[in-house]
């Protein structure tokens, strides 16, 4: 049974992993007969009150909050070796752009969490497929800009422009579809960058997971 790492960034669209996207990633993997391990960096995040849509004024821990989506079964990314997995998938949510890297605040000049960068660089070097959902492709673009990686975040012009400024290639894409960079073995889908409903997010993510699992078998 192939096994995939799912890299989370907290629990909630505004300060962590987008919950629907993360859950659909896990469901799709399980439905395809693939195992998964949730993982996240041991780092702090600025809590957003999701009802008020404003900063709550306190901090939470990315790994501890990610455990909510994982039903407790999440490991510290610092303990992860890419060689132990068949591929990796990153759901979106602001956490992917604030906690895993600083794209939300620094755009193309962002930095990437060292453990996230290490695991994904190792995975890429080993030819393991990487799936990037929603805003997570911006992180992948920064990480693999020197490989001319091709990704999508949908149609948002400003975000696409920032991705191009990293040196990566952006390709527009509909919500139900995926963009595949065969050479770099990177698959991306817009999900809630475009989705108007939860079923639209599910459609693109299940397609992405299918392609990542298929790639891992080749």
Give residues in contact with a second copy (CB under 8 A): 11-14, 16, 18-20, 23-24, 26-27, 30-31, 49-53, 63-65, 67-72, 74, 197-199, 202
Among residues 12 and 107, whose Cβ is nearest to a second copy? Answer: 12
Q: How far is the CB of 119 from a second copy (least distance, A)?
A: 19
Phi-psi group of 25: left, alpha or beta (phi > 0 → left; psi -120 to 50 → alpha; rest → beta): alpha
Among residues 43 and 143, whose Cβ is nearest to a second copy? Answer: 43
Q: How far is the CB of 45 from a second copy (least distance, A)?
A: 13
Decide if 134 is catalytic.
yes
User: Count H helices, E strands: the chain?
Assistant: 8, 11
The closest of 189, 182, 18, 172 to 92, measured between CA atoms, is 18
Among residues 68 and 155, whose Cβ is nearest to a second copy? Answer: 68
Answer for the pair 154, 142: CB distance below 8 angstroms, yes or no: no
Catalytic residue among 101, 110, 134, 173: 134
Tell me the DSSP string of 149-162.
-EE---S-HHHHHH
Among residues 19 and 112, whose Cβ is nearest to a second copy? Answer: 19
Q: How far is the CB of 66 from a second copy (least distance, A)?
A: 8
**End-to-end Cα separation, the chain, in angstroms:** 14
Answer for the pair 178, 151: CB distance below 8 angstroms, yes or no: no
Q: How far apart are CA 151 and CA 4, in angstroms?
A: 20
Among residues 125 and 198, whose Cβ is nearest to a second copy? Answer: 198
Contacts made by residues 151-159, CB under 8 angstroms, sequence distance 24+: 151/179, 151/181, 151/186, 151/188, 152/178, 152/179, 152/188, 152/189, 152/190, 153/188, 153/190, 153/193, 154/190, 154/193, 154/194, 155/190, 155/194, 156/193, 159/135, 159/193
The residues annotated as belonging to the active site are 134
């Amino acid at each position: 049974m192939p096994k995939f790492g799912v890299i989370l960034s907290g629990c909630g669209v505004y300060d962590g992993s987008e919950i629907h996207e993360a859950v659909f990633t896990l469901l799709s993997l399980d439905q395809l007969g693939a195992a998964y391990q949730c993982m996240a960096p041991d780092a702090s995040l600025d809590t957003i009150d999701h009802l008020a849509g404003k900063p709550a004024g306190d901090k939470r821990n990315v790994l501890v909050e990610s455990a909510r989506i994982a039903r407790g079964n999440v490991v510290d990314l610092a303990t992860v070796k890419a060689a132990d997995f068949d591929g990796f998938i990153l759901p979106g949510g602001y956490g992917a752009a604030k906690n895993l890297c600083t794209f939300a605040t620094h755009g193309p000049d962002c930095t990437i969490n060292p453990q996230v960068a290490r695991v994904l660089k190792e995975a890429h070097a080993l030819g393991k497929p990487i799936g990037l959902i929603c805003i997570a492709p911006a992180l992948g673009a920064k990480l693999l800009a020197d490989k001319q990686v091709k990704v999508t975040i949908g149609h948002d012009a400003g975000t696409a422009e920032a991705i191009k400024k990293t040196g990566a290639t952006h390709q527009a894409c509909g919500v139900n579809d995926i963009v595949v960079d065969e050479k770099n073995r990177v698959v991306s889908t817009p999900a809630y960058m475009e989705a108007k409903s939860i079923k639209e997010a599910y459609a693109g993510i299940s397609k992405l997971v299918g392609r990542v699992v298929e790639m891992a078998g080749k």
